[in-house]
Structure 1
Amino acid sequence: MSLDVNNIAEQASFQAFMNCYLREVEQGGWQTAQQWRQVYQSQHERDNTTLFAIKDDAWIVEIPLPHQSAKLAVEVTYRTQVGRHSFGRLFHYQAWQFLPQWSVIAPLNAVLLLVREMYVNAGYQDMAEKERELLRRILDSEQVMQRYVTARKDDERLQSLRFIDAEQALVFGHWQHPTPKSRQGMADYQHDDYAPELTGEFSLHYFQIHRSLISQRSALAITAEDMIRHSFAVGDLVTSEHVVLPMHPIQAQWLLHQDYVQALIAQRMIIDCGRRGIAMTATSSVRSLYHPELPWMYKFSIPIKITNSLRVNKRHELEAGVVMASLYRKTGFSERYPTFQVITDPAYITVDLPARAESGFEVIIRENPFPLGDDHDTVTIAALTQDPLLTSDSLLACHIKQLAERMQTSLPQTSMKWFARYWDCAIEPMIRLYDEHGIALEAHQQNSVLRFNSQGYPQTYYFRDNQGFYLSTAYATYLESLEPDSATVHDLYFDDQMICDRFAYYLMVNHLFSIIGRMGADQLIAESVLLHFVQQRLTALKQELTGAGHRFVASLLSKPSIPAKANLLTRVQDIDELMVENEQAVYTAFPNPLSSALPCSSLVGTESDVSQNNDEKAVVTEPSEVTNAIA
């Protein structure tokens, strides 16, 4: 890859978009580079040096564009079994030309052709406006990515395992999203201060709110207003009549432009106190803020569309956070499985206004398990598995290679042992939580935080997200006996079929497969070995589990596909999933590499095909080597 930051951002944007397209829209026609050359060589006898200088072990996937009498051919430099291919050069074939032949095409131009094809084929209402909206987000995402890559390309903190460094290292964003860095609503000048990728720090904006307008709740002995008072030293602003609310500065400016807020300010029910106090910094979600010396993190609404949605704290999320903080504590699950922890959101505070579900002042208060001095060797799975920027290795590959060198073991052995430890502290406990308590988690990679032990192996897994709980209706009586208030938060309960679908996507496709794909692409260990390990562990778990987890595991081992969130199709239809019933995005079917009906090798042909595909990259692991690694 060229070291030019524009090329890096363009290629990274294309890779995210193309993986979505292949998974959600069109699987394409796959051929080896050698087969592809044989088909088209005669058409390019005069110019075959550029178009066909592709290694024999690469693949080509052809994408038809029938509405444009054209097709694309994409070089696949790494073909995965779990959804994250790596791409090289792109070629365009226009059938209506006088002498039709393949020509090189830039990644962005290829994306524009694919977008045009989708909308011509789809026939959605308001198609032209939806297409323009998607194109705006694609361009915005790529331009933002260019800015972040330029700023961070020489920053050693991208390889850091300190909590906030890893939170702010996601320069490429969500690899399963077509617009991973879309930030509509964030002005150009605001990125330096408020974008986590640019590591800015900023003070908060404060308001005095008349107590009659305040609604707050806490699952702890301390109230939300006292958490704020102790965090930000705003005691001088607190009066017998007023409570102090901090606000993200971008949200504060939005609020000050609302008629209903201006009216309350005129009545002295709200007093604008401006910006002051200690500087906070953004975590990977942009709107959750951190300070290493505070016991709490603070999550605000912001008037910015990030990936799919406008980021607004909904009232039901506030209630759910407090209820789940209390309910999870009462299960005692983390006492029995101490390597598994949930970072709860035990308190909220907001302004209640008539006829408004949300006022815009909603503040969620989150535990901070990573204060100064205890914030090392801690990283999100999203940062760990992100593509490398200008180095040859991802953060995970760097870590595994250093670990292998220290332990004097082979890369496959070290990778297998690391993966087994991760399974034990993260994946198996989540399945057992669902089986024992009917609680499933939306454990996608950005909401999954991992802490390493002194050797460098996974020690503790942390889940965070008050929007990410699914309670089984079949367990409702039991859960309500533990925490009666759970009966009042109806949005938390789902039937097990929906839970199994969502849980399978977030836990497997989004989360675990990202680790498997990263290890495979980084030549640490073969994907097929890791998938076989997962099949074995799931088969053993199936014999032990007796509740909802048993049905979940059985479906993973038997169904030929896994329902997977279709971020591209969600964007094509311009759906804000946070604003629709059940926060339901578009879902599609992902071929299940864990199914007994679908052998692990079937997604890429035979095992010999895999070896041919990745001859230089293949990692052969003997069964005895795997057994020794896990032991």
Structure 2
Amino acid sequence: MNSPLLSRHLQPARPDNERFAERQHSRLLINCYAREVAMQEHTLAVLPASRSAHPAMPDDYRGQVLEIALPRVGSQLCVGVLHVSATANFDYTTGVCLRQGQDAWRDASWQEIARLIIEDLSRRADTPFNNELLQQIGDSIATMQDVMDRQPAPALPPLAATTTPLQIYIESEQGLLTGHPFHPAPKSRSDWSPAEQRDYSPEHKASMRLHYFQIPQQWLLSDSVDGDALQGLAAHGLQPEAGGAIVPLHPWQAGWMRRQPRIAEALRSGEVRDLGAHGRPFHPTASVRTLLAEDAASFIKLSLNMRITNCIRNNARHELQSALTGTRLYRGMQADMQSRFPGFRVLEEQAYVTVDLPGADPQLANGFGVLLREGVAGLLRQDVQPVMCAALFGNGEHGRKRVFALIERYALHRGYTLERAAHHWFARYAEVAVHPILYLLFEHGVAFEPHMQNTVVGLDGDGAPSHFTVRDLELARLAPQAQPLARAMRLEPETLAALCCSDERAWIRIGYCLFVNNLCEVIASIANGNHSLYLGLWGVLRNTLQDYLAQFPRPSANRRIQGLLAGEPLPAKGNLLTRFLRQADRQASYLPLYHPLGVVNGAAASF
């Protein structure tokens, strides 16, 4: 079937994996720099291409060319693209070319691109060259290449190789081959050796048993939303000695703990006991440190004292408390949400365990933090096929092939053309995702983090979106209208301070996570280079927002949504700048990102 969705159809031959990983990271760097710097400084242009108009392109090239000036380092970058993208979701068609000074254009390696961009940022910020970032990019390339070297040839259709709904779900968690499309080093895990990567990484289809330590009972700190929830963190058949408590760790974290002087001393003295690995295997999910139980009834979010993308991934106590507070607050809203949005769910954070480690650095104590989360078994029992959103959207060609297969299936079931099916499929996704998230924000004052990795789309028998699930409540934020509920819980000051924010910060959380990180990628993935369809999907989103306002015309919602429909920018997170400046994720800057909502015709998107 000829597809108006896939102007670049599936490539049957597997690319050279080293070249693929390097080219992918060159494009990631272009993505990040274009959105965070070039668009802000107006040093970017998309030009029509011909041999005479742009000598960097091949003789037979008929696309367009994205050109970015790096004036602080006297250089220019260019790459073939299918069309203009206001949001920097470009569809690339060539490798990246470089011109330094008045030299001729030539192919650029990832090292040249990375060095030039880092040097440009160094001069821009008047700071030293960040060699650590260059190393992280190299680590990410090596990880991606190793993953692809060990992948079997992809099956068609993409999800047909798995048989049960649970296997399909696990495969979606473990199938992120390219990762975050707007991060310079999405696969960087420099603390892991190649062998550890294969033992613990989701992309390598790993599974593992939890590792257990016994600690003194007086060190233990715990909480649960229900009386029996802590049983989900209980050791598998292990019984603590009198005065002891048993805590689970990620097996790599257990090794890290043993190397810390305070823990090594406690192990030698017998104050802490290493009980080893026990119980059934768990499957690592896309976040690497969150594991899914074999029966899918629960997730367990473990600490890892290593950097994954922007953060050291251990669980501070105030983060654990924030997660459970998110569950408790949502329970008070759940009846209202379910009556209005029956396809929307929030996975509960059910219990946590951590320690108060006498005489130790807080980072060491945080390394014991463990969180128990509700699993996806409930969705599976409802005959809904859960798929982690990042596996479909923002996962390069692998994700786009899956999206095409789903829309093609939907078109066949409904008797639609592919383009009509694409509009309807996205309209269903937008409604189940956008309406409840906006309602939580504007009616309840709650901002979760509905970015691609934190959300799960539920597919019905036609392959169309019917459910939308949010997970990971650790970074929930409360606008002023919801803060009295949190204060009534008598939370610790650090937890309360982390939860509460201004209306503006709550909107930034939703504007970035839902619109930029999620919906921009969904639209780009479905359109897959078809610019007419791309604009039509933005028109569908415009209709979705107008429908929301018609149902829930609260003044705060009207102000934000009408602003978007009039062309006000969205907030885009600066992952490249955050990594370059060596900042914590909470210090990340947000840049204005313009979009087509103010110029598309919603009526034309109605099919």
Is TM > 0.5 for Structure 1 vs Structure 2? Answer: yes
SS of alignment partner, residue 237 of structure 1: coil
Return closer, same or farther for 1:407/1:118 CA change in 2, 3 Å cut-off: same
Equivalent position SS for 1:404: helix
Matched, 1:73 2:78: yes
Range with bigger deviation, 364-373 or 82-91 = 364-373
Which residue matches 1:207? 213
Shift in Å, 1:16:
1.5
Does structure 1 residue 568 correspond to structure 2 residue 580? no
Of 26, 32, 45, 1:14 maps to 26
Structure 2: distance between partners of 1:255 and 1:392:
37
Alpha-carbon distance change, 485 to 548 in structure 1, aligned in 2, over 3 angstroms: farther
Deviations 1:596-624 (A, max 9, x none): 3xx249xxxxxxxxxxxxxxxxxxx994x
The whole-number CA distance in structure 1 between the counterparts of 2:496 and 2:196 is 36
Instruction: Say if 1:485 and 1:119 are closer, same or farther in 2 by CA, change over 3 A.
Output: closer
Distance in 2 (alpha carbons) for counterparts of 1:372 and 1:327: 22
Instruction: Find the aligned partners of 1:575 and 1:220 in 2 and give their Cα distance.
Output: 37
1:549 match: 557
Matched, 1:433 2:440: yes
Letter in 2 for 1:552: R
Matches within 5 A, 1:276-355: 276-293=278-295, 295-332=297-334, 333-336=336-339, 337-354=341-358
1:492 to 499, 502, 506: 499
Amino acid at match of 1:367: E
**Aligned-pair CA distance for 1:83:** 2.7
> How far does the alpha carbon of each residue in 1:549-568 deviate from its partner, in whole angstroms, 9 at most, with x for none?
34432332345322210111
Cα gap change, 1:479/1:305 in structure 2, threshold over 3 Å: closer, same or farther?
closer
**Distance in 1 of aligned mates of 2:379 and 2:568:** 46
Return the match for 2:538 from 531, 538, 548. Answer: 531
Matches of 2:395 and 2:355, distance apart in 1: 42
Aligned to 1:45: none
Match for residue 117 of structure 1?
A: 120
The corresponding residue for 2:131 is 132
1:365-444 to 2 correspondences below 5 Å: 365-370=372-377, 374=381, 377-389=385-397, 393-444=400-451
Cα pair 1:564 1:588 within 8 Å, conserved = yes
Q: 3-state SS of the aligned residue for 2:264?
A: helix
- Distance in 1 (CA, whole Å) between partners of 2:429 and 2:143 is 33
- RMSD of aligned residue pairs (Cα, Å): 2.7
- Name the CA distance, whole Å, in 2 between partners of 1:542 and 1:393: 31
- For residues 268 and 324 of structure 2, the distance between their equivalents in structure 1, rounded to whole angstroms, comes to 33
Contact 2:409 2:462 in 1 (8 A): no
SS of equivalent to 2:372: strand
Give distance in 2, aligned partners of 1:137 and 1:24.
19
Distance 1:274 1:397, change over 3 A: same
Equivalent pair of 1:205/1:276 in contact (CA under 8 Å): yes
Equivalent position SS for 1:53: coil
For 1:238 and 1:372, how far apart are their aligned partners in 2? 35
How far apart are residue 91 of structure 1 and its match?
A: 2.4
- Whether the aligned pair in 2 keeps the contact of 1:81 and 1:527 (CA below 8 Å) is no
Amino acid across the alignment from 2:66: V
Q: Deviation digits for residues 149-190 of structure 1, max 9, x if unmatched?
A: 111251549636721110000010101111111112112210
SS in 2 for 1:26: helix
2:91 maps to 86
Q: Conserved in 1, the CA contact under 8 Å of 2:83 and 2:91?
A: yes
Question: How many residues get paired?
Answer: 576
Letter in structure 2 aligned against 1:530: L
Greater Cα shift, 248-257 or 378-387: 378-387
What SS class does the counterpart of residue 400 from structure 1 fall into? helix
State how far apart, in whole Å, the 1-side matches of 2:579 and 2:288 are: 20
Aligned equivalents of 2:522 and 2:355: distance in 1?
42
Cα deviation for residue 514 of structure 1 reads 0.7
2:562 is paired with a residue whose SS is helix
Letter of the aligned partner of 1:170 in structure 2? L
- The code of the aligned residue for 2:543 comes to Q
Q: Post-superposition shift, 1:413? A: 1.3
CA contact (8 A) 1:177 1:567 kept: yes
Shift of 1:388: 4.8
- Could you tell me which residue of structure 2 aligns to residue 606 of structure 1? none
Cα deviation, 1:332-386, whole Å, max 9, x if unaligned, reads 2443222111112121011212355451211111111237964972111111114
Calculate the TM-score normalised by the size of structure 1.
0.85
Distance 1:307 1:19 in 2: 16
With over 3 angstroms needed to count, the CA separation of the structure-2 counterparts of 1:554 and 1:269, relative to structure 1, is farther
Please say if residues 163 and 376 of structure 1, whose CA atoms lie closer than 8 Å, have aligned partners that are also in contact. Answer: no
Change (3 A) 1:304 1:155: farther
Kept in 2: contact 1:401–1:411 (CA 8 A): yes
Partner of 1:222: 228
Cα drift, residue 466 of structure 1: 2.3
1:292–1:372 CA contact under 8 A, matched in 2: no
Cα distance change of structure 1 residues 444 and 23 upon mapping to structure 2, 3 Å threshold: same
**Identical counterparts, % of pairs:** 27
Deviation at 1:325, TM superposition (A): 1.2
What residue number does 1:510 align with? Answer: 517
2:251 to 249, 252, 262: 249
Shift of 1:17: 1.5
The answer for the alignment partner of 1:143 in structure 2 is 142
Structure 1 runs not aligned, ≥5 long: 42-49, 578-582, 602-620
Deviations 1:30-57 (A, max 9, x none): 24343x643466xxxxxxxx8442533x
Measured in 2, the distance between the counterparts of 1:94 and 1:194 equals 42
Distance 1:171 1:413, change over 3 A: same
1:23 pairs with 2:35: yes
Code of the aligned partner of 2:52 = Q
The corresponding residue for 2:66 is 61
User: Which amino acid counterpart does residue 568 of structure 1 have in structure 2?
Assistant: L
Following superposition, the deviation at residue 252 of structure 1 comes to: 0.6
Asked whether the 8 Å contact 1:215–1:350 carries over to 2, the reply is yes
Mapped contact 2:177–2:203 kept (Cα < 8 A): yes
Give 2:7's aligned residue: none
Residue in structure 2 matched with residue 152 of structure 1 by the alignment: 151
User: Could you tell me how far 1:524 is from its partner in structure 2?
Assistant: 9.6
Distance 2:316 2:375 in 1: 22
